[in-house]
């Protein structure tokens, strides 16, 4: 991947998104002039090949980072961001490939960072934000999971698990994204936690989130447990660090 002066790179992790990826790439190209980096974990359905054929056909600035085995969302983002930052300072956008994240919001997310935010979150839980056709249980888990994480960790954002975001390169370097360990929703929460702790200015852009129609969600009990355990662990270390600092001051 070569830095070409474009203002932002959209990083998209994929695993078996053959039925969605072309429409997504078309949507992104129609919405904004960006470079695209797809991080694919050798999807058996040939997602990576579809992306490369699309890039050739359209002469688009799209790169595929192929990884040998399915290794999780968090590692995919870490690898993608590292690749982008190696080439210089550009805004890093993250979004899902399953058409839940509408590219029409990309200009607003990117502009927010260009105008001085350290991060912008595509948020379902601010006025103007919405979720379409999620089952009740999933709505409940997401809404209360967000409240729990924000309340426990003092995050002051409404959608800490959103996977549709833009980051300034300076923030990604400052929070040492390579050392984030969490995978699924935990990855988004840990990134938000580090950003807030580092004093980041975070903007929330209302989005309408649409549940995937094609393909399968990779959400599992394991991912939910991971996120829950992470929030509790971060809460504990926040308390511990707060105490140590307090102790030192006296
Ligand atoms: N590279 C890679 N991408 C993944 C992996 N797991 C999920 N994804 C992608 O991450 C995005 C979000 O996953 P999804 O299953 O839609 O999660 P959900 O939105 O929480 O149901 C999609 O673009 C997936 O294809 C993985 O292990 N590796
Ligand atoms: Mg999804």
Q: Which two tokens stand for residue 29?
A: 């190209």
Distance CA 95, CA 93 (A): 7
Using CB atoms within 10 Å of the CB of residue 15, give its burial: 0 to 12 exposed, 13 to 18 middle, 19+ buried.
buried
Report the run of H or E that residue 206 belongs to, with start and end: strand 202-206
Does residue 249 lie within any of the structural domains?
A: no
Residue 217 CA to ligand 2 center (angstroms) comes to 6
- From the CA of 66, how far away is ligand 2's center (Å)? 20
**Domain with 26 in it:** 8-243
Nearest to residue 74, comparing CAs of 177, 194, 175, 216? 177
Q: pLDDT by residue for the chain (250 residues), tens digit each?
A: 655 557 899 999 999 999 999 999 999 999 999 999 999 999 999 999 999 999 999 988 999 999 999 999 999 999 999 999 999 999 999 999 999 999 999 999 999 999 999 999 999 999 999 999 899 999 999 999 999 999 999 999 999 999 999 999 999 999 999 999 898 889 999 999 999 999 999 999 999 999 998 998 877 788 888 899 999 999 999 988 877 776 665 4
Q: Give the distance (Å) from ligand 1 centre to CA of residue 11.
A: 12
Question: Is 2 within the bounds of a domain?
Answer: no
How far is residue 27's CA from residue 24's CA, in Å, rounded to a whole number? 5
- List, chain by chain if needed, residues with CB within 6 Å of any ligand 1 atom: 13-15, 17, 39-41, 70-73, 76, 96-98, 100, 212, 217-219
Residue whose CA lies nearest to ligand 1 atom number 27: 72
* Ligand positioned closest to the Cα atom of 219: 1
How many domains does one find in the chain? 1
Strand-pair category, 91-94 with 165-167: antiparallel
Q: Dihedral of CA 187/189/194/198: which sign?
A: positive
Residue 69 lies in a domain: yes
Mutate-to-test residue for ligand 1 from 218, 220, 223, 227, highest number of ligand atoms within 8 A of CB: 218
Name the token pair of 165.
């975001």
To test the ligand 1 pocket, which listed residue (10, 11, 14) has its Cβ within 8 A of the most ligand atoms?
14
In a domain, 185, yes or no: yes
How far is Cα 223 from Cα 214, in angstroms, rounded to an integer? 21
Residue nearest to atom 26 of ligand 1 (CA): 72
250 lies in a domain?
A: no
Sign, CA torsion 59/62/68/71: negative
Chain-centre distance of CA 205, in angstroms? 14
Residue 226 lies in a domain: yes
Q: How many CB atoms lie within 10 A of CB 139?
A: 12
Q: Which two tokens stand for residue 227?
A: 């996120």
Which residue puts its alpha carbon closest to atom 16 of ligand 1? 217
Q: Residue 29 sits in a domain of what CATH number?
A: 3.90.550.10
Q: Is residue 12 part of a domain?
A: yes
pTM of the model: 0.93
On whether residue 85 sits in a domain, the answer given is: yes
- CA 71 to chain CA mean position, Å: 16
pLDDT at 184: 84
């Amino acid at each position: 991947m070569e830095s070409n002066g474009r203002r932002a790179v959209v990083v998209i992790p994929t695993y078996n998104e053959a039925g969605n990826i072309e429409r997504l790439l078309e949507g992104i190209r129609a919405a904004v002039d960006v470079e695209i980096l797809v991080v694919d974990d050798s999807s058996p359905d040939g997602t990576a090949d579809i992306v490369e054929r699309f890039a050739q056909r359209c002469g688009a600035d799209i790169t595929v980072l192929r990884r040998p085995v399915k290794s999780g969302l968090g590692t995919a983002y870490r690898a993608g961001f590292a690749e982008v930052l190696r080439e210089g300072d550009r805004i890093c956008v993250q979004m899902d490939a399953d058409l839940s994240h509408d590219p029409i919001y990309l200009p607003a997310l990117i502009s927010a960072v260009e105008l001085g935010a350290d991060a912008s979150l595509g948020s379902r839980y601010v006025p103007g934000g919405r979720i379409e056709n999620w089952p009740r249980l999933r709505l409940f888990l997401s809404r209360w999971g967000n409240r729990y994480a924000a309340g426990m960790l003092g995050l002051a954002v409404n959608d800490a698990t959103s996977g549709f975001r833009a980051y300034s390169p300076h923030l990604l370097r400052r929070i040492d994204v390579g050392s984030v360990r969490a995978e699924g929703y935990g990855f988004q929460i840990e990134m938000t936690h580090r950003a807030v702790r580092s004093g980041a200015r975070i903007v929330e852009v209302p989005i309408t989130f649409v549940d995937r129609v094609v393909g399968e969600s990779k959400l599992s009990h394991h991912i939910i447990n991971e996120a829950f355990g992470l929030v509790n662990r971060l809460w504990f270390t926040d308390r511990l660090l707060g105490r140590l600092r307090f102790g030192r001051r006296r």
